[in-house]
Amino acid sequence: MFFRRLLSTMHWSTLNRPCTISVEGNIGSGKTTFLNHIERFGNATVFAEPLHKWRNCQGHNLLDLMYRDPKTFAFTFQSYVQLTLLEAHTCNITTPFKFLERSVFSARYCFVEKLKRDGFLSPPEFSVLDEWFRWICQQQKVAVDLFVYLRTDPEVVYERILKRDRTEERTVPFEYIKSLHEIHEDWLYHKTLYDCPVPVFTIDANMDLSEITGEYKKFENQILEKNKIFIGV
């Protein structure tokens, strides 16, 4: 299988750090399923989105507050998201591979961008978050070697969101999901929005989540061919 080869043959040692792969995509695109697949191979450390932290920051559910009143809490929430994702980026590990569920890059280029467009971040608030992001990129070890984009139609992810019925997501409108999809597309697929400094491998993640593992296997050869730069072949 490709992923077994990827996690066993990549010349990660030349990086003097773990090879870092960030799994990106819209809400409900199947990132957790993808990462569960990866975690089985043993020589990768997986950092899931720290939802437990976002739901309990010293007793405050910042995720719920952001969805309920983004005008008031968008800056607070995104400040904390940036911190918790930075912790994952910079956490020392002993395995040769680090997989992230989203990154400081998607937090800035997709979610902060969306909040700015919607007017939920004032120009000064956006500037502060952007300055923090620039400092993080310059001063912290947040390099990513590959983005895996789970490309999913907004109608599909919206249906998944309704089915999984997370309390905080019950108020999320379809238009939000659609707009967020378009931003991901412009950044990772069309590459017309912001900088995309590393290769992107795109997976069609529209299949039912119970079948998506088979989709990963079907694309093994294509991934291998596209990413020889990362793999000892």
Catalytic residues: 101
Handedness of CA 83, 84, 89, 94 (dihedral sign): positive
Q: How many CB atoms lie within 10 A of CB 204?
A: 13
d(CA 29, CA 212): 11
The torsion defined by the Cα of 192, 198, 199 and 204, in degrees rounded to 10, comes to: -70
How many other C-beta atoms are found inside a 10 Å radius of the C-beta of residue 197? 11
Cα(193)–Cα(139) distance, rounded to whole angstroms? 23
Q: Is 101 helix (H, G, I), strand (E, B) or coil?
A: strand
3-state secondary structure of 233: coil
- Distance separating alpha carbons of residues 77 and 57, to the nearest angstrom: 10
Which pair of tokens denotes residue 19?
């090879």
